[in-house]
């Protein structure tokens, strides 16, 4: 990761218009095999046949480098490896491994390009390949963008197969029986005579061999595990309180800390008075950090109490202090000077709208917190020339880089131990909490310190999903959509995040400003989507489904308004306009699932539909609501989608259902509003989300028509809010164009 900055300064073009810079490295380097990081730390008798499989006499360890935030990635990676390795994923050890370039994510960058997921042209394909090559060059180890399955699907099965065949080769050498006559089952090599030998007994011999690389992946018809209902490897621990999250770690002599930083992100800490805190029971030390102040104590609660007892003056950061000012910047950004992209421009929108009745609408979505239930925390032990950090993170390599920079400790001596996470939703693509934990631990070198944010600090220090405004102008003719002109103003997540991560900006347009809107597969005769980068400059970040989280609402809501004005049935009109076979079948499937007969489903009731393609996954959602005396009740959610191949039907359903309900929860009642730089929502009492009594039944139909396999953690989110808004319109006649909807309507 150390070379990252130099490489990316010249060539990083994620979200920009070209990937040409990638060639400066030469193909030779991009094609060079990657060093297996497990080899460095092997003990005698241990074998690391691939970067993903480690075996010694005592057991088998599968390395699952994509972080588990709750989406089930550890279990899924283990099953992919186990399918070819022929082991029981519940009978082996799992480890996320240490950050290493070998664990780069080829898909996370290959999708951040100005080609719609439905674009199968040669140019689009080669650009995606180049994106993967750049990720390899940079050693981009990251979990995000719903990329774990697409990135791992072949890679991990291949790793499992290589390990299996190499173990068979070791058994062949030992027995004199040819490898082709050997079989494998449940962690053992089987000989033709019925005898067998455990992989663990072959580890030492396998370690001496060159891995057998010419392996073929098994046909789906031979799968034991994949495609069938799986039992998550962590499910017993998570049902008995025995799962150990980062916040649960305990070490010998460990101290406890908490930090408060400037609620104006990036602003300075000025004067402070820690007199009261210093005198409180259990307080060991007050430590200044770059942006705040930390307390080290002998107990988390005592650290919380003490850090909140410090009076601090905060400096002002250089962006708007209030939500009102933010909205003004956004509203004033729809001008040529700020135009950032116009990637969709079909027909002639202006000509089409010249002499027609133009339907106009403006939409708004608010800042949102990630607010995973486990607040950010990290355990840090700083030695003289070594640093260990135990924390839940999606970006372990970047934490390693920044920790090295912060402490001056050599990169190779910074060890990041990734922990299971109590949620993320994008929060753990950031690293300020980890740096604060290190700053505090440097105050007590040689003693491990667990730094935990209070919930209030977690809300205040979150890098939120940005607020956005969209303006739509459209026309209809003869019962059909004739023109759609959608303009979206938003600040750049890419610029903000890469700026923090790598200390650099990003050239070219930011696709996240228009993702989920510009790339939708509809043949509207005159169709234009423009992105405007609003220079708000409040630090912002990725939130589950990222750009599509707001743009899906804009696009699907506006299409619904126009279809209503045209007098068209929204499902039939979406199917008619759709130019993507896989998506059309998804729309038809959701219609079948809900027995679609229009949006009117009874007195005080209404049905809405929305479609969004995000992360390559077409998703259609239908929502039924009832307008009850105590407010809107969400009765039922129907979802149809296509990820190409469903690896685990149980977790697939969990992610789709969870995604849709996550989208609904925030659409109902969540927002961050700012005064004096601080979010006014400080805890869950003002950031409610959804509770059990509000959760509808969710019916799901997963199709497998798409050619490419895709991830499912995020795509269920974007269509939920517009489907709900469209359903409420059908039930009440009230069009809600601003989130959260609780600003305009009551929920039961």
Partner 1 sequence: MKLKVNNVDYDLDVEAEMPLLWVLRDELDIKGPKYGCGIAQCGACTVHIDGQAVRSCSYPVGAVQGAVTTIEGLGTPDALHAVQEAWIEHQVAQCGYCQPGQIMAAAALLAQQVAPSDDDIDNAISNLCRCATYPRIRAAIKTAAAKLQGAA
Binding site for partner 1 (CB under 8 A): 69-72, 231-232, 234-245, 247-248, 250, 256, 281, 299-301, 304, 371-375, 421-425, 452, 454-455, 650-651, 654-655, 657-658, 661-662, 665, 683-685, 689-693, 695, 697-698
Question: Can you read off the two tokens belonging to residue 535?
Answer: 């220079």
Strands of the sheet containing 47-50, edge to edge, are 47-50, 53-56, 59-63, 93-95
The helix or strand, by DSSP H or E, that contains position 237, with its residue range, turns out to be: helix 235-240
Please compute, for residue 241, the number of CA atoms within 13 A of its CA located in the half-sphere on the CB side: 0
CB burial string 376-398: b at 16+ within 10 A, e below: bbbbbbbeeeebbbbbbbbbbbb
Nearer to partner 1, 319 or 453 (CB): 453
Bridge partner residues of 556 (DSSP): none
Signed CA dihedral, 538, 544, 548, 554: sign only:
negative
Nearer to partner 1, 186 or 239 (CB): 239
Nearer to partner 1, 39 or 244 (CB): 244
Contact yes or no for 652/76 (Cβ under 8 A): no
Of the candidates 109, 71, 153, which has an alpha carbon nearest to the alpha carbon of residue 644? 153
Non-local (6+) Cβ contacts of 336 within 8 A are: none
Of the candidates 725, 715, 472, which has an alpha carbon nearest to the alpha carbon of residue 583? 715
Nearer to partner 1, 112 or 659 (CB): 659
Nearer to partner 1, 303 or 404 (CB): 303
Nearer to partner 1, 115 or 652 (CB): 652
The backbone torsions φ and ψ at residue 271, rounded to the nearest 5 degrees and listed phi first, read -75, 155
Question: Looking up tokens 């509203």, which residue turns up?
Answer: 331
Nearer to partner 1, 473 or 544 (CB): 544
Q: How far is the CB of 434 from partner 1 (least distance, A)?
A: 18
The helix or strand, by DSSP H or E, that contains position 613, with its residue range, turns out to be: strand 605-614
Q: How far is the CB of 375 from partner 1 (least distance, A)?
A: 7
Q: How far is the CB of 690 from partner 1 (least distance, A)?
A: 6
Nearer to partner 1, 216 or 250 (CB): 250
Q: How far is the CB of 701 from partner 1 (least distance, A)?
A: 16
Measured CA to CA, the distance from residue 239 to residue 241 in angstroms comes to 6
Question: 522: helix, coil or strand?
Answer: strand
Q: How far is the CB of 670 from partner 1 (least distance, A)?
A: 11
Question: 560: helix, coil or strand?
Answer: helix
Nearer to partner 1, 170 or 625 (CB): 625
Nearer to partner 1, 224 or 281 (CB): 281
Contact yes or no for 140/498 (Cβ under 8 A): no
Nearer to partner 1, 449 or 582 (CB): 449
Nearer to partner 1, 64 or 424 (CB): 424
Of the candidates 667, 681, 702, 495, which has an alpha carbon nearest to the alpha carbon of residue 589? 702
CA 395 distance to own-chain centroid: 11
Question: Can you read off the two tokens belonging to residue 420?
Answer: 């299971």
Q: How far is the CB of 6 from partner 1 (least distance, A)?
A: 36
Nearer to partner 1, 205 or 251 (CB): 251
Of the candidates 101, 82, 81, 80, which has an alpha carbon nearest to the alpha carbon of residue 33? 101
Question: 593: helix, coil or strand?
Answer: helix
Contact yes or no for 154/20 (Cβ under 8 A): no
For residues 138, 143, 145, 148, the Cα torsion angle rounded to the nearest 10 degrees is 100
Q: How far is the CB of 231 from partner 1 (least distance, A)?
A: 7
Nearer to partner 1, 484 or 698 (CB): 698
Of the candidates 478, 624, 470, 484, which has an alpha carbon nearest to the alpha carbon of residue 562? 484
Measured CA to CA, the distance from residue 426 to residue 699 in angstroms comes to 26
Please compute, for residue 555, the number of CA atoms within 13 A of its CA located in the half-sphere on the CB side: 32
Q: How far is the CB of 596 from partner 1 (least distance, A)?
A: 22
Q: How far is the CB of 63 from partner 1 (least distance, A)?
A: 21
Nearer to partner 1, 52 or 662 (CB): 662
Q: How far is the CB of 96 from partner 1 (least distance, A)?
A: 15
CA 546 distance to own-chain centroid: 8
Nearer to partner 1, 256 or 611 (CB): 256
Q: How far is the CB of 148 from partner 1 (least distance, A)?
A: 14
Contact yes or no for 149/180 (Cβ under 8 A): no
The backbone torsions φ and ψ at residue 49, rounded to the nearest 5 degrees and listed phi first, read -75, -35
Q: How far is the CB of 250 from partner 1 (least distance, A)?
A: 6
Question: 394: helix, coil or strand?
Answer: coil
The backbone torsions φ and ψ at residue 635, rounded to the nearest 5 degrees and listed phi first, read -85, -45
Q: How far is the CB of 541 from partner 1 (least distance, A)?
A: 17
Q: How far is the CB of 414 from partner 1 (least distance, A)?
A: 26
The helix or strand, by DSSP H or E, that contains position 496, with its residue range, turns out to be: helix 493-502
Contact yes or no for 353/485 (Cβ under 8 A): yes
In angstroms, the Cα distances linking 333 to 149, 402, 471, 488 are 38, 34, 11, 9
Q: How far is the CB of 697 from partner 1 (least distance, A)?
A: 6
Q: What is the DSSP letter of 221?
A: G
Nearer to partner 1, 68 or 560 (CB): 68
Q: How far is the CB of 70 from partner 1 (least distance, A)?
A: 3
- Surface-to-core class of residue 64, CB atoms within 10 Å of its CB (0-12 exposed, 13-18 middle, 19+ buried): buried
Q: How far is the CB of 665 from partner 1 (least distance, A)?
A: 6
């Amino acid at each position: 990761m150390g070379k990252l900055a130099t490489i990316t300064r010249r060539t990083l073009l994620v979200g920009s218009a070209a990937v040409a810079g990638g060639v400066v490295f030469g193909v030779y380097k991009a094609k060079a095999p990657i060093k297996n990081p497990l080899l460095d730390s092997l003990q005698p008798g241990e074998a690391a046949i691939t970067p993903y499989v480690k075996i010694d006499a005592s057991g088998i360890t599968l390395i699952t480098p994509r972080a588990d935030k709750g989406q089930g990635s550890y279990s899924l990676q283990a099953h992919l490896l186990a399918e070819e390795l022929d082991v029981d994923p519940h009978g082996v050890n799992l480890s996320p491994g240490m950050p290493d370039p070998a664990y780069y994510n080829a898909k996370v960058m290959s999708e951040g390009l100005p080609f719609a997921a439905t674009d199968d042209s040669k140019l689009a394909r080669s650009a995606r390949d180049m994106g993967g090559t750049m990720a390899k060059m940079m050693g981009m180890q990251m979990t995000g963008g719903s990329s774990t399955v697409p990135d791992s699907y072949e890679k991990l099965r291949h790793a499992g197969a290589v390990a299996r065949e190499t173990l068979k080769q070791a058994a062949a050498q030992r027995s004199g029986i040819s490898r082709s006559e050997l079989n494998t089952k449940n962690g053992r090599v089987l000989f033709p005579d019925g005898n067998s030998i455990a992989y663990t007994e072959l580890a030492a011999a396998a370690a001496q061999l060159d891995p057998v690389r010419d392996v073929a992946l098994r046909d789906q018809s031979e799968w034991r595990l994949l495609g069938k209902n799986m039992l998550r490897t962590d499910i017993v621990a998570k049902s008995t309180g025995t799962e150990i999250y980062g916040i649960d770690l305990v070490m010998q002599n460990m101290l406890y800390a908490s930090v408060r930083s400037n609620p104006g992100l990036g602003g300075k800490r000025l004067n402070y008075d820690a007199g009261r805190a210093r005198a409180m029971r259990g307080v060991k030390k007050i430590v200044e950090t770059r942006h705040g102040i930390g307390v080290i104590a002998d107990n988390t609660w005592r650290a919380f109490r003490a850090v909140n007892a410090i009076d601090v003056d905060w400096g002002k950061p250089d962006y708007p202090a209030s939500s009102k000012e933010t909205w003004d910047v956004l509203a004033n950004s729809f001008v040529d000077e700020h135009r950032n992209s116009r990637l969709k421009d079909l027909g002639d929108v202006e000509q089409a709208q010249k002499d027609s009745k133009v339907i106009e609408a403006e939409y708004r979505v608010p800042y949102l917190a990630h607010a995973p239930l486990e607040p950010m925390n990290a355990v840090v032990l700083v030695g003289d020339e070594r640093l260990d950090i135990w924390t839940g993170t999606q970006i372990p390599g970047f934490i390693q880089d920044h920790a090295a920079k912060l402490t001056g400790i050599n990169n190779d001596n910074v060890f990041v131990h990734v922990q299971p996470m109590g949620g993320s939703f994008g929060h753990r693509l950031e690293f300020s909490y980890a740096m604060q934990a290190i700053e505090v631990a440097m105050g007590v070198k040689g003693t491990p310190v667990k730094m935990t944010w209070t919930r209030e600090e977690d809300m205040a220090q979150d890098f939120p999903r940005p607020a956005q405004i969209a303006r739509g102008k459209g026309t209809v003719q003869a019962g059909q959509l004739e023109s759609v002109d959608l303009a979206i103003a938003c600040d750049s997540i890419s610029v903000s995040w890469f700026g923090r991560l790598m200390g650099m900006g990003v050239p070219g347009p930011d696709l996240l400003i228009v993702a989920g809107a510009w790339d939708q597969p509809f043949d509207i005769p005159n169709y234009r989507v423009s992105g405007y980068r609003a220079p708000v400059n409040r630090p912002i970040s990725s939130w589950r489904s990222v750009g599509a989280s707001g743009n899906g609402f804009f696009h699907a809501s506006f299409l619904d308004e126009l279809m209503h004005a045209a007098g068209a049935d929204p499902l039939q009109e979406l199917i008619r306009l759709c130019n993507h076979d896989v998506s059309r079948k998804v729309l038809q499937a959701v219609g079948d699932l809900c027995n679609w007969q229009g949006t009117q489903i009874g007195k005080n009731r209404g049905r809405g539909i929305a479609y969004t393609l995000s992360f390559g996954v077409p998703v259609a959602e239908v929502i039924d609501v009832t307008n009850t005396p105590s407010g809107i009740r969400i009765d039922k959610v129907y979802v149809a989608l296509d990820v190409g191949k469903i690896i685990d039907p149980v977790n697939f359903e969990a992610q789709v259902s969870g995604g849709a309900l996550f989208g609904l929860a925030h659409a109902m009642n969540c927002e961050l509003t700012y005064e004096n730089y601080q979010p006014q929502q400080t805890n869950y009492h003002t950031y409610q989300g959804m509770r059990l009594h509000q959760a509808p039944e969710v019916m799901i139909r997963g199709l497998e028509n798409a050619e490419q396999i895709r991830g499912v953690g995020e795509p269920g989110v974007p269509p939920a809010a517009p489907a709900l808004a469209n359903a409420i319109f059908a039930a009440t006649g009230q069009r809600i164009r601003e989130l959260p909807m609780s600003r305009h309507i009551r929920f039961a």
